[in-house]
Amino acid sequence: MSHLQAIDQGVISFAHPAWSRPLFEGDRGRPRYRAAKGGRASGKSPFFAEILIKRMIENPDTKAICIREVQRSLEFSSKQLLADKIISMGLLHYFEIQQNRIRSVFGEGIIIFQGMQDHTSDSVKSLEGFDIAWCEEAQSLSSRSIELLDPTIRKEGSEIWFSWNPYKKTDPVEEFFRDNDQSVLVHVNYLENPFCSENIKEMAARSKAQNISKYNHVWLGDYMKDVEGALWKDPMIRKAQNFDEVPQLERIVVAIDPAVTAKENSDETGIIVAGRLGERFFILDDLSLRASPDTWARAVVEAYHHWNADRIVAEVNNGGDLVEKVIRTIDRSVPYTPVRASRGKILRAEPIAALYEQGKVSHCGEFRELEDQMTSYTPLSKKSPDRLDALVWALTELSRSTGQAVWRIS
């Protein structure tokens, strides 16, 4: 039986959600641009992963690239999603999953994973023979990246796919699809995803009850709006996102805003890694998670060693001595500083927001959940901003040690 017969006769089954039907319109390469944007858990990435796998089986010579604006490691690429899909669907005999690419067993087909920021106008020419470019997290694509990629993927019948969570109406990808008659674009959310789990639906319901504006953005895929009363505005975040590469830092800390329970409705434990060089500050990682004290303590200690940090800083208002005890259980030798908040969150956050306003903070990665908290938290917010709290503690500790300014935090 041929690969096409296996698909046609249902031996290989692909179950696509109803919202995806417009994306199958036309012929190969017409329309050229196929895209899905929308909220979290809407199934955009799994859908494109499946149709890419299907295309590779139908034509084992297909060459595809999965693109992001910044591809710092394969950990943050679509490779794991594709590999998991191939394995779970029982299709491993069609593919060879290698360390940094996926190859077709029955042809010359290949899937590679790259970041557009790594390309120049010369290096991007290496992609001219590719059939498909899938742009994940396309809301982060710069105008330069789209302008480089579009004319490069020019093989007859080639296509460029986009999937993204909307951020601003003015994002380059939004502008690209405005009045684009060579495209098909669908807007989807988790309510239209038949594969969405009950746990996800419960998370969305909690978000809706706690912050309707954030719910509309994160879960329904509305554009991010500036929230009245929030210290961080979109231009401040945009400025922080513009960075080239992480320099050799003078000092690095791992900050924790610990949750004392790990139930489904518990707060997350905020874990932020940040560094300093002179008067500039760098957010290196957001490892926040909902987990037991033992699990988040291990994540903190692993981050401390991974980043070769100088100190762990932890808020102890809720956990008290338990916080240090659980960390010391994992590693007794780590330098540790407890901090206790005696002022309100907004007062503690104001000097940190000032650093952003002055353009002194860079985000060295994609930290959408953190940035959503930053731009949506106000004095009236009901939910504790775990990631934001950890960020404030991290930058407060680093700024105190610069000798530039001293802010009383407790």
Which fold, 234-400?
A: Nucleotidyltransferase; domain 5 (3.30.420)
pLDDT band at residue 405 under the 50/70/90 scheme: very low
CB 249 within 8 A of CB 282: yes
Among 132, 177, 176, smallest CA distance to 152 is for 132
Instruction: Find tokens 């794991």 and name the residue.
Output: 80
Coil, helix or strand at residue 256: strand
The proportion of the chain whose per-residue pLDDT surpasses 90, expressed as a percent, equals 66
Can you give the pLDDT at residue 194?
94
3-state secondary structure of 391: helix
Residue 42 has pLDDT above 80, yes or no: yes
H/E stretch holding 144 reads: helix 143-152
Instruction: Give the tens place of pLDDT for each residue, 151-186.
Output: 999 999 999 999 999 988 889 999 999 999 999 999
CATH superfamily of 3-192: P-loop containing nucleotide triphosphate hydrolases (3.40.50.300)
Mean pLDDT estimate for the chain:
88
pLDDT at position 1: 47
Confidence of residue 259 (pLDDT cuts 50, 70, 90): confident
d(CA 316, CA 313): 10
* The overall pTM is greater than 0.75: no
CA distances from 226 to 184, 307, 345, 373, 390 (A): 29, 33, 19, 12, 22
Range(s) within the chain of domains with CATH label 3.40.50.300: 3-192
Question: How many Cα atoms within 13 Å fall on the side-chain side of residue 391?
Answer: 31
Question: With bands split at pLDDT 50, 70 and 90, how would you rate the model's confidence at 263?
Answer: low
DSSP SS3 for 155? coil
